[in-house]
Amino acid sequence: MKALRVHQYGVPPTLDDVPEPSVVDPWDVVIDIGAAGLCRTDLHIIEGQWEPIQRPRLPYVLGHENAGWVVEVGSAVDSVAPGDTVIAHPLTSCGLCPACRVGEDSHCTNATFPGVNVDGGMAERLRTNARSVVKLDSAVKPTDIAALADAGLTAYHAVRKAAAGLFPGTHAVVIGAGGLGHIAVQVLAAITSAEITVVDRSEEALELARALGAKHVVLAGSDEGVAAAVLAITGGGAHAVFDFVGERGAELLAPRLLRPRGSHYVVGYGGAVALPTIDIISREINVIGNLVGTYNDLVELMTLTEQGKVTLHTVVYPLSAALDAIADLEAGRVRGRGILVP
């Protein structure tokens, strides 16, 4: 089968011929990939940023946002069957460690992370496990939902954690209305009562954000200008700021947009949050990290999708054009999410 593999960090991946995966463990599920999402994390993987954390054995297949159809299951699997349409949670969790026992799949001590530390789904087929797959209606098209497996899940997880405090009269600010941010705007509109403000450097992205539920939009320019605009809109600062950029200064701007006792949800990465401890104490602000999401988060997100409350804005490429898709993502030419189809 064809698969997009990283052979060396700092070098573009290549489309290789590799053996098809097959069932090895009783809990395995093999998926015929219908679509795989392209994420900025894939760019960071190619750059080598994840090597010290995940240490994958090269070469390996990219792709951690995957959806398609079951083609083979292990002897212990009865939750899905060949022919079922599924979306795959990004991690394969064990179900036995303390994190799994409380439903925190993303922190499973025995997990693998297809596309990050083992072979992923930018290929014709993927091997995962039964704990990772969510069965969907057969009418669902993988190209419409694949990126929800990580981008959507990560955005949903952050908003879900904040939702209890985003009651009527509160303000939420989303920094970055791209692949994750445009999903977060929809989730905020669907499950909270917060007034939504979006900050982005692209007028096109801001137009999309407004159409998806943002009441206010701010075109990113100088930090002083953005801060003044947001503080005016929110009457003194947001109750929650969701930073989907996490670099190039956004991670330094985000805390300035908070009101006292507000929370900065860090989702994007690449930079470094720098806060004087006196500011943290005197304003009682929180900095909260977010890693993917739980299996139940993914189930809830797919429910919102089936209800028509969350939709992905995508650009579809054949797997054979993966390098073109990567170049477009790097250059900022992708609005929404890039999707690769074998």
Of the residues 289, 307, 322, the one at which a domain ends: 289
SS3 157: helix
Q: Which two tokens stand for residue 184?
A: 């977060």
Query: How many whole angstroms from its chain centre is CA 82?
Result: 27
Q: Please write the tens of the pLDDT for every residue from 170-191.
A: 999 999 998 899 999 999 999 9
Residue 335 has pLDDT above 80, yes or no: no
> 98 and 78: one domain?
yes
Residue 14 sits in the same domain as residue 124: yes
The DSSP call for residue 57 is: P
Q: Could you tell me if 234 and 284 lie in one domain?
A: yes
Q: How many domains does the chain have?
A: 2
- pLDDT of the residue at 179: 84
DSSP code of residue 163: G
Contacts 24+ apart (CB under 8 A), 219-223: 223/249, 223/252, 223/253, 223/256
Residue pLDDT, tens place only, 81-129: 999 999 999 999 999 999 999 999 889 999 999 999 999 999 999 999 9
Q: Give the domain-ending residue among 289, 312, 333.
A: 289
The chain-wide mean pLDDT, for the chain, equals 95
Same domain, 285 and 296: no
Pairing mode, strands 195-200 and 171-175: parallel
The pLDDT, as a whole number, for residue 333 is 87
Asked whether residue 101 falls in the same domain as residue 83, the answer is yes
Backbone angles phi, psi at 8, to 5 degrees: -155, 135
Asked whether residue 9 falls in the same domain as residue 71, the answer is yes
Instruction: Provide the whole-model pTM.
Output: 0.92
Q: Quote the pLDDT of residue 332.
A: 83
Q: pLDDT category, 28, cuts 50, 70, 90? A: very high
Q: Which CATH number belongs to the domain containing residue 268 in this structure?
A: 3.40.50.720
Spatial separation of the C-alpha atoms in residues 36 and 123, rounded to whole Å: 8
Report yes or no: 231 and 237 within 8 Å, Cβ to Cβ: yes
Q: What is the pLDDT of residue 270?
A: 87
Q: Are residues 236 and 336 in the same domain?
A: no
CATH number at residue 41: 3.90.180.10
The residue range of the domain holding 73 is 2-150+292-341
